[in-house]
A and B are shown apart, each in its own frame.
Chain A
C-alpha cells in the first residue's frame, strides 16, 4: 500500500512530467468477514476506521456506504468549526476536535485548508447577551479563547455588518471565538479515507446495508436488548462481524431498527445556500441565533449560508422557496449592502436531532452494536474527536471519559446533556 507523500515538490515534478495521479484509495470487494464493520462512509465513519487502525492496530475493518464516501452530511454541511459550547462536557469534547483539526493537514499529509478566521455569534436581545456571557465564562474556565465583544468591536471584525440601533434586530454584542473557522469538508473525507486505506482498511462504496443479524436478543430474530451482533447483510453479500458501528446521519434510525435499538432521534432537513463569488469582504464566520442564519465567505469568494433545521421531520431533501425567502430577508437584515448578490444554488442535508441537542455515542443494549449518531447540526466539527473516541470505545470495550456523558442510556436514566443554548442554530 504505502503511498507517495504529497508535497509541493511532488506537485511540481508531476506537473512538469505530466504524470497522472494514482488512485487515492483501493476499490475493493467486501471480504466474507471483518473484525469491525462501520456503516456510513462520512467523516465520522472514516475517522473511526482510521483511529482504529492507527491508535489501536485494528486493521481488519470495513467502511460501507450506500452511496459514495462523503455523500451525506460530510459534503453538505457549511464547514464551520468551533468549540465555544455551553456545557463543560460539550466544551471539552469539541475542543479536542479542534485540536485534531489544527494538526490534521500535517498528521494526514493532505491540506484540509483550515482557515482559523474567528467566529462571531451575534446577540440581538438582552437575554441572548446574557447567554453569551454565560457561555464566555464557561469557555474561559475550560481555557478556551472566547469573550463577549461590543457592537463597535463587531464592526471592526466584520465591517459589512449593520450595527445601527434602529433595525428590527439590532446587534447588541457578540460572543467572539478567535480559534473558530472553516475547513474544506471534502478534503477531510479524502484525508481520512486515504490514511485509513494506507493502513489496510477496506472502503466499500455503493454497498447498502440491508439488515444487521443478531442472536440472543429479546426481540424477533434475536435482535434487541441482550442480543449480540453476528454480521450484516448488504447489497454486495453477507459479511460476518462481531462489531457493527452505526456512523450514519439521516438514516441512523433505519439502521438502528435493524439491530432492534430504538433511538431518541427525529430526522429533519437543514437547508443551506451559496451565492455567486465576489471579492473577499467578510473575514470571519458570522452567526445569528435570533435570525436563524450563519454565513462565511469561502476562499473562492462565495458566501455560504446555513439556517436552522426545518420544523417538520422528513427524509425529503428538496429545497423550499420559503427557506430562500426567509434566508434572504435575514441576511439583508445583517448586511444590507449585499442586496444585489445572487444565490447560485441551495441544497439540504439530513440532521438527526436529539431532545437535548447532544449526540448519542458508544455501546448499546445489543452487544457489538455501537452508535455514533444524533449529530444534529454539529457533526462536522466533531468528526475527528468522535472517530478517536469511538475507536477507543471499540478497542477497549468500555466508554472513554470524554464521551461517557453521551451514552444512549442517558435517556432512560434521565441524565441529559442540555446543549440547546449553544447548538440550536449557532455554528
Chain B
C-alpha cells in the first residue's frame, strides 16, 4: 500500500486519492502548435526513478497537489518545483512518512 501525504489531510492510502499522472506544464493553447500540443497530451517521461506527479484528494479535502515519488521503490518526497524558492518545504523535504509496505 502506498501512503500518500496530502498537505491538508495528512498521510492517506493511495486508494483514497485519485492519481493524476505526470506533472507537466501545459502549453498555451492559443500559441501552441498541433505537434507541441499532442506531445503534451500523449508523450510521457515514464522514468524508472523519481517522478513529480499530480494527486487529487478525492475523498478528503478535494484539492490537487504535487508529490515526488520513486516509481521503483515507492518512496515519496516533497517536490522541488521550478520557480519555487529553495527550502520552502525544508522540514519535510527528505523523506515523508510513507512508501510501499
Which residues of chain A have a CB within 8 Å of any CB of chain B?
A: 251, 253-254, 262-267, 311-316, 318, 320-322, 355, 411-412, 414
Contact A315 B72 (CB under 8 A): yes
Shortest CB distance B73–A (Å) = 7
Complex Cα distance, B46 from A141, in Å, reads 38
Contact B44 A264 (CB under 8 A): yes
Shortest CB distance A246–B (Å) = 14
Instruction: Find the B residue at minimum CB distance from A326.
Output: B15
| B71 proximal to A (CB < 8 A) | yes
| B86 proximal to A (CB < 8 A) | no
Shortest CB distance B2–A (Å) = 7
When the two chains form the complex, which single residue of A312, A313, A316, A411 contacts B42, counting CB atoms closer than 8 Å?
Answer: A411
Shortest CB distance B101–A (Å) = 9
23 residue pairs A–B, Cβ–Cβ below 8 Å: A254-B48, A262-B43, A262-B45, A263-B43, A264-B43, A264-B44, A265-B44, A266-B21, A266-B46, A313-B21, A313-B71, A314-B72, A314-B74, A315-B71, A315-B72, A316-B72, A316-B73, A322-B15, A355-B42, A411-B38, A411-B42, A412-B38, A412-B39
Instruction: Find the B residue at minimum CB distance from A317.
Output: B72
Instruction: Find the B residue at minimum CB distance from A416.
Output: B42
When the two chains form the complex, which single residue of A251, A311, A315 contacts B19, counting CB atoms closer than 8 Å?
Answer: A311
Shortest CB distance B22–A (Å) = 8
Given contacts A254-B48, A265-B44, A322 and B38 within 8 Å (CB-CB): no
Given contacts A315-B71, A316-B73, A316-B74, A264 and B42 within 8 Å (CB-CB): yes
**B-chain residues with CB within 8 Å of residue A264 when the two chains form the complex:** 42-44
**A-chain residues with CB within 8 Å of residue B14 when the two chains form the complex:** 312
Which residues of chain B have a CB within 8 Å of any CB of chain A?
A: 1-2, 14-15, 18-19, 21-22, 34-35, 38-39, 41-48, 51, 71-74, 100
Shortest CB distance A122–B (Å) = 25
Complex Cα distance, B74 from A318, in Å, reads 11
Q: Is the interface of A mostly helix, strand, loop or mixed?
A: loop
Complex Cα distance, B53 from A314, in Å, reads 12
Complex Cα distance, B1 from A60, in Å, reads 46
* Interface core residue of B15, B43, B47, B74 (most chain A CB under 10 Å): B43
Complex Cα distance, B67 from A312, in Å, reads 13
Shortest CB distance A325–B (Å) = 11
Instruction: Find the B residue at minimum CB distance from A312.
Output: B19
Shortest CB distance B17–A (Å) = 9
When the two chains form the complex, which single residue of A253, A318, A414 contacts B46, counting CB atoms closer than 8 Å?
Answer: A253
Shortest CB distance A311–B (Å) = 5
Instruction: Find the A residue at minimum CB distance from B4.
Output: A312
Complex Cα distance, B97 from A151, in Å, reads 49
Known contacts A264-B42, A311-B19; 19 additional CB pairs below 8 A are: A253-B47, A254-B48, A262-B43, A263-B43, A264-B43, A266-B44, A312-B2, A313-B51, A314-B71, A314-B72, A314-B74, A316-B71, A316-B72, A316-B73, A321-B1, A322-B1, A355-B42, A411-B42, A412-B38
Complex Cα distance, B73 from A266, in Å, reads 16
When the two chains form the complex, which single residue of A251, A311, A316 contacts B100, counting CB atoms closer than 8 Å?
Answer: A316
**A-chain residues with CB within 8 Å of residue B2 when the two chains form the complex:** 312
Shortest CB distance B61–A (Å) = 19
Shortest CB distance B53–A (Å) = 8
**A-chain residues with CB within 8 Å of residue B51 when the two chains form the complex:** 313
Complex Cα distance, B22 from A262, in Å, reads 14
Complex Cα distance, B47 from A125, in Å, reads 38
Shortest CB distance B11–A (Å) = 15
**B-chain residues with CB within 8 Å of residue A412 when the two chains form the complex:** 35, 38-39
Ranked nearest first, the 9 interchain pairs of A and B with the lowest CB-CB distance are A253-B46, A264-B42, A411-B42, A315-B72, A262-B43, A315-B48, A312-B19, A314-B71, A311-B19
Complex Cα distance, B41 from A412, in Å, reads 10
Complex Cα distance, B22 from A263, in Å, reads 14
**A-chain residues with CB within 8 Å of residue B22 when the two chains form the complex:** 266
Instruction: Find the B residue at minimum CB distance from A254.
Output: B48
**B-chain residues with CB within 8 Å of residue A253 when the two chains form the complex:** 44-48
Instruction: Find the B residue at minimum CB distance from A318.
Output: B100
Contact B48 A251 (CB under 8 A): yes
Complex Cα distance, B75 from A114, in Å, reads 42
**B-chain residues with CB within 8 Å of residue A251 when the two chains form the complex:** 48
